[in-house]
A and B are shown apart, each in its own frame.
Chain A
Amino acid sequence: MDKYINTPITAEKTEELKSGDYVYITGTIYVARDAAHKRMIEALERGENLPIDIKDSTIYYMGPSPAREGQVIGSAGPTTSSRMDKYAPILLDLGEKAMIGKGKRSPEVIDAIIRNKAVYFAAIGGAGALLSKCIKKSEIICYEDLGAEAVRKIEVENFPVIVVIDKNGNNLYETAILKYSNY
């Protein structure tokens, strides 16, 4: 089913999202990959604050290619989420509600999704040019020295994603395959 939602994605909104839904997201989201996640978690361990407002946040796992003059951002598709699995449960427990990436998640992440009524979306891997068109604004907010891996805040408009793991832990990667195996 096609759905349109605005950020912040709250527990009320994840209530409505079911594994397999096609969702268009509009609003502000953060962008971070593994190097940035590692630094954020290290900051927490040192007792420092996170550089982002984590409550009801959406984090997109992505590292763009450089923008040409006049472009908001370069190619901007999802990266493999499993590299964030080590860090994601900590951020979910602190209030992160939605993650956008591609690929499988660990049982620990799935548990944290259920525990926090969160959601895991997949964006289309390898569609970076298309997805960049849905990004209307982009600013680096910290860790600029990480280059493509710096943390960004972006504004998206009708950004297309699919609910893979919903707040009940239903996992499209497992269910969809069964439907088409030996088709």
Chain B
Amino acid sequence: MRKVHTQEITKNIKEMCIEANYYLSKDMDYAMKQAFETEKSEIGRKILNQLQDNLKIADEEKIPICQDTGMAVIFMEIGQQVFFEGDFLEDAIQEGVRQGYREGFLRKSVVKDPIQRENTKDNTPAVIHYSIVTGDKVKITVAPKGFGSENMSRVFMLKPADGVEGVKNAILTAVKDAGPNACPPMVVGVGIGGTFEKCAILAKKALTRQVNEHSHIPYVRELEEELLKKINGLGIGPGGLGGTTTALAVNINTFATHIAGLPVAVNICCHVNRHVVREI
């Protein structure tokens, strides 16, 4: 058994919320630079160039990359040999978010109730996904999610007979509909299989995978490559103003499913695809 104090969780989450909103992770940064090199449209290149300037200003002048600093999504992978000392874990996580959004001058974009819509003024609660894993470490992934792209995400309950072609169509449909609304170039997170809610979580988790990494399942990897090509052939381009860079990556996660179903979730993310990972 290993003791972890919840104060440490709070401190890390606070720092991670800030870090995620001021600096793009290395994989995303590299993908954005590559996109500028390969983009064919003039206006597309101009926009990608300005997005480079934007990242520089965000870093140097401590202004968030995007004003939508997101709803904080947090994956907690907790080794089963970990024992938490201190406060209730969930409170410690929410406190980290609260401190991060306050001290980092991040926008408070969360309302307490979906219908009554009163701002909580501290960006809590975060959406937290817990899982118990082997070992004595705690792996934390903080992924603040903007809603321009979140709103364009979809779940499709396909039939087994729709097969892989149905899956491709679903993904292309979601990306086409998202178009300029999702601040392309996008990152497309896909979950295939599981149940209605499971595929959505798989898709969300897929967005936290490095954009230069592929699935280790050969057919899934091929699907990722094929879809990226197809998506970039849609012509949407940077800002949706036409071009050859519509997506930077398609990340697909799969899971077992029921004999009668083929759930597919497409979680669209913009070029401000934020993910910070730490292991404690």
With A and B bound together, what is the CA distance between A3 and B271 in angstroms?
A: 27
Tell me whether A11 is interfacial, beta carbon within 8 Å: no
B110 to chain A, nearest CB (A): 11
| CB < 8 Å neighbour of A180 from B47, B61, B180, B237 | B237
B63 near A129: Cβ-Cβ < 8 Å: yes
User: Which of these, A76, A102, A132, A179, contacts B180 with CB under 8 Å?
Assistant: A102
Given A104-B180, A127-B50 in contact, is the A181-B234 Cβ separation under 8 Å? yes
Which A111-169 residues sit within 8 Å CB-CB of chain B?
122, 124-133, 146-148, 160, 162, 164
B237 proximity list for chain A (CB < 8 A)? 176-177, 180
Instruction: Judge if A8 is at the interface, Cβ distance under 8 Å.
Output: no
Residues on B with C-beta less than 8 A from A46 are none
- Judge if A28 is at the interface, Cβ distance under 8 Å: no
Q: Are A74 and B64 in contact (CB under 8 A)?
A: yes
B181: chain A residues at CB < 8 Å are 80, 82, 102-104
Distance, CA A141 to CA B273, complexed state (A): 33
Question: Is A103 within 8 A of B180, CB to CB?
Answer: yes
List chain B residues, Cβ under 8 A from A51: none
Specify which chain A residues have a CB less than 8 angstroms from the CB of B242 in the assembled complex.
Answer: 172, 175-177, 179-180
**Chain B residues closer than 8 Å to A129, beta-carbon distance:** 54-55, 57-58, 61, 63-66
Is A130 a contact partner of B53 (Cβ separation < 8 A)?
A: yes
Is the CB–CB distance between A126 and B234 below 8 Å? no
Nearest-CB residue, chain A, relative to B52: A130
Q: How far is the CB of A95 from chain B (nearest CB, A)?
A: 27
Give B42 Cβ to nearest chain A Cβ, in Å. Answer: 10
| CB contact between B64 and one of A22, A124, A128 (< 8 Å): that residue | A128
B41 x A77 contact (CB < 8 A): no
CB neighbors of B among A84-116 (8 A): 102-104
* A176–B241 CB distance below 8 A: yes
B62 in contact (CB, < 8 A) = yes
In the bound complex, how far is the Cα of B103 from the Cα of A66, in angstroms? 10
A79 within 8 A of B: yes
The contact sample of 23 A-B pairs, CB cut-off 8 A, is: A35-B117, A65-B63, A66-B107, A74-B63, A74-B64, A75-B58, A75-B107, A79-B68, A103-B148, A104-B179, A122-B180, A124-B47, A125-B148, A126-B271, A128-B65, A128-B68, A129-B55, A129-B58, A176-B242, A177-B242, A179-B242, A180-B237, A182-B235
Other A-B contacts than A125-B180, A129-B58, A130-B53, 11 sampled, CB-CB below 8 A, are A22-B43, A63-B109, A64-B107, A75-B67, A75-B69, A102-B239, A103-B240, A104-B181, A126-B66, A147-B121, A181-B234
